[in-house]
Structure 1
Amino acid sequence: MRPAKPVAPRPVVRQTAVPEEGEGVPCPSCATPNLPSRRFCRRCAAELQPAAKAAPLPWWRTVWPFRRRVRASSGRGVRLLVILAVVLALCAGGFLLLPAGRALLEDTRDKLGKAKPVTPVGIEASAEVPGHPAKNSTDGLSDRYWGAPAPGASVTYTFGKPFRLVDLIITNGASAKPEAYAGQARALQVTMEVTSQDGEKRTKQLTLSDKPGPQPIPTGISDVRTIRLVLRSPTGLAKGRHLAVAEVEFFQRS
């Protein structure tokens, strides 16, 4: 057998002594002296000369657009005046555009929503032909009509509670059937007067076609309480004939 190969001894690591630093300013955290050239403590690594903390900002400086820090004499007053002018302009614009914006919103809701019929609780006509009362205009039957003796006659519909009138459908003439439509005279112009809950009156001129069948008319009027229709511009009116309106239907937003 061969003799074992000798194993070399492991090297021994000897720590070198770190020279102590000279006297200096003591650390504000652990009181260890450090040389004046040091920025951080040689023992705890704390900052030897910490920078002074900035004074806390007032609450209004923490809100945009005042959040950005500014230097003295850097146009702070001008910027505040500009911001104030912008805020005032936005308020004025919102005030002026509010009616138009609200109307646009309501029209959009009318188009996106569904309409449902609403029935008046009261009907009163300024004049009626015997046998053809104004209540025939809301009975749901297109072969019965309200007969008015002459142009200028009106009918007023009263509703139980205010609503938004999105559509109005008028069936002109004596009937929706073509063979009976021209049996009486028709009104080609109708003045619609709408009264709201607070008494405000709004007037709209409606133009009707001289043809049988329902004629839808978009309206988009809010807070409707009463509707008055005045017949104008007759056609086919002659001796022994009168104006006829077969049906009037009202629709509100559901």
Structure 2
Amino acid sequence: MLVLLAVGVWFALPHLPGLFGFAREETGTPESVPPAACRGSSEAGGHPASAAFDGFNNRYWAPEKTGEGVGEHLECDFAQPVRMMKIVVFSGTSARQDEFLTQGRPARLTVELTSKDGKKTDRTIRLRDQAGQQTFDVRGSDTVRAKLTVDSAYGSGEDRRTAVAEVEFFGRRE
């Protein structure tokens, strides 16, 4: 019996780090992984892409064109590969309700994650038309770039831009 147990342990040893790593990934709290660089497809004056990643939800990114903003996007690069787990989005101009409705807000975003080997994975997320944080499970391994593209918007109009107050990424550095 002891010999069988010893043989089982011997064969299991190479797999233990992977099992413990998997358990840590699934049960641990993901950490904030801010991007090293970000850019927008366009930017309205005073509302650069960097405002959506500055840690404050009272400044925002808005594209140059007014209207729905369909096709406009934010793109981020990470300094080192990230195991992406969650994305937090504050849509609109602010997390405060009285400021939230002053511009358009994304209703649907396509999140495209690019891994270091160039493989791309997409996920469409649907946002509620409400102020404050909205959290989404968006997973990707070895992620070096994230792109968020506006597919549709709430409250759009000829004199309004689709705004994003803040985007935060959570996961693990690989």
For normalisation by structure 2, the TM-score amounts to 0.82
Greater gyration radius: 1
More strand, by proportion: 2
State the distance in 2 between where 1:185 and 1:230 align: 15
Q: Does 1:169 align with 2:88?
A: yes
In the other structure, the counterpart of 2:78 is: 159
Q: Map 1:172-251 onto structure 2 (within 5 A).
A: 172-251=91-170
Measured against aligned partners, the alpha-carbon deviations of 1:183-208 in whole angstroms (never above 9, x if no partner) come to 10011100111100001111111111
Secondary structure at the counterpart of residue 134 of structure 2: strand
Q: 1:146 aligns with which of 61, 69, 78?
A: 61
In 2, Cα distance between equivalents of 1:219 and 1:144 = 24
State how many pairs are aligned: 151
Amino acid at match of 1:129: A
Residue by residue over 1:71-95, the C-alpha shift from the partner in whole angstroms, topping out at 9 and shown as x without a partner, is xxxxxxxxxxxxxxxxxxxxxxxxx
**How far off is 1:171 after superposition?**
0.4
Q: 2:40 matched to which residue of 1?
A: 125
Larger relative CO (CA 8 A, sep 6+): 1 or 2?
2
Offset of residue 125 of structure 1 = 1.0
C-alpha distance in 1 between matches for 2:98 and 2:162: 17
Q: CA deviation at 1:168?
A: 0.5
The whole-number CA distance in structure 2 between the counterparts of 1:143 and 1:249 is: 14
Structure 1: how far apart are the matches of 2:126 and 2:112? 14
**Which residue of structure 2 lines up, in the alignment, with residue 114 of structure 1?**
29
Question: Which residue in the other structure is 1:81 paired with?
Answer: none
Residues in 1 aligned to 2:53 and 2:161: alpha-carbon distance in whole angstroms: 19
Structure 2: gaps (5+ residues): 5-17
In structure 1, what is the Cα distance between the partners aligned to 2:78 and 2:124? 21
8 Å contact kept, 1:132–1:146: yes
Q: Which portions of structure 1, spanning 4 or more consecutive aligned residues, are displaced by more than 4 angstroms? A: none
CA distance in 1 between partners of 2:152 and 2:24 (Å): 34
Q: Which runs of 5+ in 1 are unaligned?
A: 1-63, 65-101
The CA distance in 2 between the partners of 1:245 and 1:229, in whole Å, is: 10
Seq. identity, %: 33
How far apart are residue 234 of structure 1 and its match? Answer: 1.1
